[in-house]
Amino acid sequence: MKLKPLLLAFCGILLSGITHAREIINLNRDWQFFREAIMNRTLQDIDLPHTWNSDISKTGNSFFYGTGNYLKEIRVPAQWDGKKVFIRFYGVSNTATLFINGKYVGEHKGGYTGFTFNITPFLNFGMSNSILVVANNTRRTDVMPINGDITVYGGIYRDVELIVTDSNHISLSDYGSDGVYLIQKEVSQDEASVEAVIEMEGTPGGNLNVQLQLFENNSPILSQTEQVKISQNGKGSLSIPFTVTQPRLWDGTNDPFLYNVTVSVVEKEIIMDQITVPLGLRYFSIDRDKGFMLNGKPYPLNGVTLHQDRSGVGNALTRLQQQEDIDLINEIGANAVRMINTPHDQYTYELCDISGLIVWSDFPFISNEYRGGKGYINSENFRKNGERQLLEMIRQLYNHPSIVFWGLFSKLSTNGDNPLEYIKYLNDLAHKESPDRLTTASSNEDGDINMITDAIGWPQYFGWNSGNIEDFILWANQFKDGWKELKPAVSEYGAGGNILHQRNQLAQPQNSSSIHPENWQTHFHEQYYEMLKTYPFLWGTFINSMFDYACSDNSTEGSPHISDMGLVSFDRHTKKDAFYFYKANWNDIDPFIHITEKRNIFRNTVNQSIKVYTNLDRAELIVNNFSYGIKEQKDGIIIWDNIKLLEGRNRIDVVSGLYNDFVELQVYDNLLAQ
């Protein structure tokens, strides 16, 4: 076995100048990997992010639960002796144990939040050093989540960084956070009051000068310097309040404006440590009649859920792939995202910040309604792990203005070990940690469990999991005059749609069947959209899901291993018809025309309806070079009924000014109906 060295000596050059600010070195490249506890002679060369279950979508693939080992060798410059060296992992599933030079450093339990270890005492400066990370994706009863419709892929599936600081530095030991928290105390159109809380580490008994600068469009508009005393345990904390008059507000997708705040540790005019975090000033609330309010105005949340995986890579998404996902969400015109089931990668939240997407960030306290809702175990180890994961989520994500909601649970049951008191504890903890945000949850039962968080949502799948689509009206009407103490939302809704399953007739399938016709998914969303418009008190509605996702390693619903409820396919190559329906209604910036059911190219009757989704005012239908006239759209839809096609091949064009779409259909009259 020979480990590949990573040469870090170049960083010593950067440390020789007048600035002693921290250095951050990405460690994603040149790792070696082997499964289980016994090392084979042959190691797999890999780069991060990585999971050992990347091909879950392939039929017959063997999903592996167990241990994966990651090895890396680095050469640590001698110039770093006297510095502090930390290693930060942004996500290891589901537990991680770290060894440096064969010595145990620590363990982290929880696959969806980051963690940082001080590895200074374990390093040999000026020499090669070995890193071993033992990851394990086996479900445990003392680590959230213990259940739920979520695939625990395993691996170091997010970035890894080495961080080098002076001995006096902004804390890296506060639950994996950056150590800086911008608390928005009071925000209005006229003035914003903010408190910056900064955690420090340094020489016991010493005094440190900490400078805060506020930047608007890269220009400093405020600068304050305060002094903090480091206690005998090597830690210190200070608060720097500041005020912004006539602030430019972060206004969702209308104007996602960001200030930047830079915090520096300064000694004799030398910057010893420095970080920059975003600041998006905004205020929000939920009105029982008007729904969600952003900066004092109604702002209906048209949202989607986002699962953090895709075909071929599992949950080990690169930054380019995360960017592609948010670009597609922006294209459809959604203004809100539910990071469903678990916290997502930091970079995804950064993209939401700059896009103006309102975020509901879920905490992994989840279960599955089909497995009895068991997601809580009344044990001290389980409760402590949940508390720690909640603190990690909130502190690590605190400065993302896109995050408005902390989702505290999903689809839990009160049967068995009752989670109510624990949920209350978590709700109080979230308010204490993040007083400027709201708590919410996704509930699938009635009763007191819905009365704890600031707001509540319910998954609604009438017309898919059970009942008929119009049954949703009966559910929503209950809130018109009753249950005024609740602030309701639809936390998820949707239906499966497999692009390979095309049918000439419209019929509701069984969600548990292996056939999920795409035209039913489209019909489902048209009907739900029409119903949802009539209930403005719903503070948010979230389509499940933006993309197909891996629902479990043994699912056979619609597609093996894959939930096909997405508006876009698992590999992101195909936008389903329902995608264009929402784009027609939510995106009024990018003109387009889309003919529906283009994948259903074989028709069994010459009499056809041609349906189009568009955000243009009107369009003309041309069939085999003959015009069937111009029609205006309503709710993004234009339909031409009773269009008689020819036996055999037909060319259909739809045109509106510079925009058009076409399809070729083959008609065989009296073909066996599908």
Model pLDDT for residues 207-256, shown as the tens digit of each residue: 999 999 999 999 999 999 999 999 999 999 999 999 999 999 999 999 99
Helices (H), 372-419: 380-397
Task: Report which DSSP code applies to 375.
Answer: -
Pick from 251, 294, 285, 283: which is nearest to 487 by CA? 285
Instruction: Say how far apart CA 634 and CA 636 lie, in whole Å.
Output: 5
Instruction: Say how far apart CA 313 and CA 202 lie, in whole Å.
Output: 41
Instruction: Say how far apart CA 444 and CA 413 lie, in whole Å.
Output: 8
b/e sequence 277-290, b meaning 16+ C-beta within 10 Å: bbbbbbbbebeeee
Phi and psi at residue 277, to the nearest 5°: -130, 155
Question: Which residues have a Cβ under 8 Å from the Cβ of 85 and sit 6 or more positions away?
Answer: 76, 118, 119, 120, 123, 162, 163, 164
Pick from 128, 163, 100: which is nearest to 7 by CA? 128
The tokens 């056809």 sit on which residue?
Answer: 608
Pick from 539, 530, 639, 537: which is nearest to 585 by CA? 530
Rounded to the nearest 10 degrees, the angle between the axes of helix 518-532 and helix 577-586 is 20
pTM for the model stands at 0.95
Distances (CA, A) of 282 to 114, 198, 437, 483, 646: 27, 21, 11, 29, 58
Instruction: Say how far apart CA 632 and CA 638 lie, in whole Å.
Output: 7
Dihedral sign, CA of 519, 55, 560, 362? negative
* Total residues belonging to the chain: 674
pLDDT digits (tens, 9 = 90+) for 192-218: 999 999 999 999 999 999 999 999 999
Give the H or E element holding residue 135.
strand 128-136
Instruction: Say how far apart CA 82 and CA 315 lie, in whole Å.
Output: 38
The pLDDT of residue 373: 58
The pLDDT of residue 104: 98
Question: Would you give the distance in Å from CA 90 to the centre of its chain?
Answer: 14
The pLDDT of residue 18: 43
Task: Report which DSSP code applies to 402.
Answer: T
Beta-strand relationship, 301-306 and 336-339 = parallel
The tokens 């879920």 sit on which residue?
Answer: 362
pLDDT digits (tens, 9 = 90+) for 3-60: 344 444 333 323 233 456 899 999 999 999 998 765 556 799 999 999 999 887 554 4
Q: Answer left, alpha or beta for residue 341, where phi above 0 means left and psi between -120 and 50 means alpha.
A: left
Report residues of the chain scoring pLDDT below 50: 1-18, 59-60, 553, 673-674
Instruction: Say how far apart CA 438 and CA 291 lie, in whole Å.
Output: 14
The tokens 């200074």 sit on which residue?
Answer: 120
The pLDDT of residue 58: 54
Report helix, strand or coil for 578: helix
The pLDDT of residue 202: 96
- Geometric angle at alpha carbon 525, from 522 and 527, rounded to 5°: 110
Task: Show the tokens assigned to 147.
Answer: 């259940």
Instruction: Say how far apart CA 155 and CA 49 lie, in whole Å.
Output: 8
Task: Show the tokens assigned to 446.
Answer: 């009635």
